[in-house]
């Protein structure tokens, strides 16, 4: 009976991106069979045109997530969103990513054709001691912000924060941000790709610098920055289930299973990624690096084993 139940879980095949800032941890830490020493991103749950995940289990095996969304909306509680709304990635940085900012939905709809803005959040999975992230800036007025950008005063402008595994950071549109080398994290984001790059450490890609978008960045950066305390949550591992964030784009939860845990969410559908350990869900084996969707009406999930899961959904 249980085995039949777990066949309703929609397991997905991730897609990989290679970058100048990538490394090998997605293979060595997560066991993904992906060659190369510049692996940067694993798109675990995505119906984005850049990577549309294929279903690899159950009655819908072989379909793309965007097809399931179009043709079987009942699996998603008949959600009225036009496109599959959330994207889950694991990002592993060997060196620093470029410093960037995303517009909000209003700016994106006025200045970019037919796309959403982007809100994203990060759950830190692994970080070398002393790791930092860029989150926010130090300019007190828009005038000062523009002066610092025009003068290339990046060290003065950007705000670096100390982070450790288990930290969770919400990045609202308008927040200057960057993932720094030595950090591996799970990103939950709106299904959008609009990024304004501010500074790329003067690196060359294929012999030339990557395009910057300074004017758009000056328009959309929030001034002054939100304070760090309002952006960062430290996980409490003693709790089985923690809600990390609820905003208008998504909710994100962290689930820790020790031996046995029953969890049920009162939401039309859930995205889940196993980020540590292994075990089973309703007797189906799962392990670190697996990504799946719990469809509408699934009910109680019976977890066994030792594992950590990051789950997300549309806000209720």
120 in Cβ contact with 188 (< 8 Å):
yes
**φ and ψ at residue 83, rounded to 5 degrees:** -115, 160
DSSP string of 11-34, one letter each residue = EEE-EEEEEEEEESHHHHTT----
What tokens were used for 148? 């610092």
**φ and ψ at residue 76, rounded to 5 degrees:** -115, 30
Catalytic, 197? Answer yes
Q: Is the peptide bond before 224 cis (omega within 30 degrees of 0)?
A: yes
Strand ranges, E, within 8-98: 10-13, 15-23, 39-45, 47-48, 51-52, 54-55, 86-93
275 in Cβ contact with 125 (< 8 Å):
yes
Residue among 27, 159, 197, 284 flagged as catalytic: 197
Please measure the distance between the N-terminal and C-terminal CA atoms of the chain and give it in whole angstroms: 30
Q: How far apart are CA 41 and CA 305, in angstroms?
A: 27
CA 33 vs CA 91, 148, 284, 285, 299: distances in Å = 16, 43, 21, 18, 32
Q: How far apart are CA 121 and CA 252, in angstroms?
A: 9
DSSP 247: -
DSSP 204: -
Distance between alpha carbon 193 and the CA centroid of its chain, in Å?
A: 12
Nearest to 171 by CA among 149, 146, 190: 190
As annotated, the active-site residues are 197
């Amino acid at each position: 009976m249980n085995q039949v139940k777990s066949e309703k879980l929609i397991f997905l095949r991730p897609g990989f991106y290679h970058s100048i800032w990538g490394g090998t941890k997605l293979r060595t830490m997560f066991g993904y069979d992906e060659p190369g020493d510049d692996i940067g991103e694993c798109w675990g749950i995505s119906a984005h045109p850049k990577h549309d995940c294929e279903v690899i289990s159950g009655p819908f095996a072989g379909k793309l997530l965007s097809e399931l969304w179009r043709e079987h909306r009942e699996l998603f509680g008949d959600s009225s969103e036009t496109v599959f709304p959330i994207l889950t990635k694991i990002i592993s940085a060997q060196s620093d990513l470029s410093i960037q900012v995303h517009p909000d939905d209003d700016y994106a709809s006025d200045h970019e054709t037919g796309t959403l803005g982007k809100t994203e959040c990060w759950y830190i999975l692994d970080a070398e001691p002393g790791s930092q992230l860029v989150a926010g800036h130090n300019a007190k007025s828009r005038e000062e912000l523009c002066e610092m950008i025009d003068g290339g005063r990046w060290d003065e402008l950007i705000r670096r924060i100390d982070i450790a595994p288990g930290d969770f950071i919400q990045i609202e549109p308008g927040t200057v941000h960057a993932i720094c080398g030595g950090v591996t994290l799970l990103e939950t984001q709106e299904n959008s790709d609009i990024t304004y790059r501010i500074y790329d450490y003067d690196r060359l890609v294929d012999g030339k610098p990557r395009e910057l978008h300074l004017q758009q960045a000056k328009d959309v950066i929030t001034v002054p920055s939100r304070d760090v305390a309002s952006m960062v949550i430290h996980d409490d591992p003693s709790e089985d289930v923690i809600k990390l964030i609820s905003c208008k784009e998504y909710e994100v939860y962290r689930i820790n299973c020790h031996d046995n845990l029953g969890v049920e969410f009162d939401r039309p559908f859930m995205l889940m990624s196993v980020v540590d350990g292994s075990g089973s869900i309703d007797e189906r084996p799962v392990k670190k690096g697996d990504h799946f969707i719990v469809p509408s009406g699934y009910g109680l999930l019976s977890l066994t084993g030792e594992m950590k899961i990051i789950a997300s959904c549309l806000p209720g």
